[in-house]
Amino acid sequence: MPTVTYQFSGSGVVGTVPPTAAQAVTTNSLSASVTFADADTTTLITHNWGLTTTQLSNLWPWANFYPAALGTATVAVGLSLALTNSVAVTLNKAATSAGTGVGSSIVVILQRPFSMNT
């Protein structure tokens, strides 16, 4: 299972524990560093924002991701994000990206809707 290290605004907290619902109330963005081993294919990133059905249908939270460190394989690693539910998103590494050297570290940035854009 991949290792997810969270950092969220206002708290200065860095660690493998996601924000609680109480902490998430005052957090508009969250960063997660996800370290995949070669055989890992999926992980859950918990934000605990409790998004509404309308917000989810508007494709929130906004998500960006980029590689922080790639494995040694020469094949491209396919990644996708899924809006799983009101408190989490799922980061998937494509099964076709399996093999030796495809482990990697990915940074995921989530932003929740707030009064300026809701």
CATH number of the domain bearing residue 45: 2.60.40
- Angle (CA) 29-49-51 rounded to 5° is 115
Residue 44: the pLDDT is: 96
Assess if residue 118 is contained within a domain: no
Domain that holds residue 96: 3-111
How many structural domains are present in the chain? 1
Assess if residue 117 is contained within a domain: no
Assess if residue 97 is contained within a domain: yes
Residue 79 near residue 106 (C-beta atoms within 8 A): yes
Average pLDDT of span 82-104: 81
Assess if residue 116 is contained within a domain: no
- Per-residue confidence band for 18, with pLDDT thresholds at 50, 70 and 90: very high
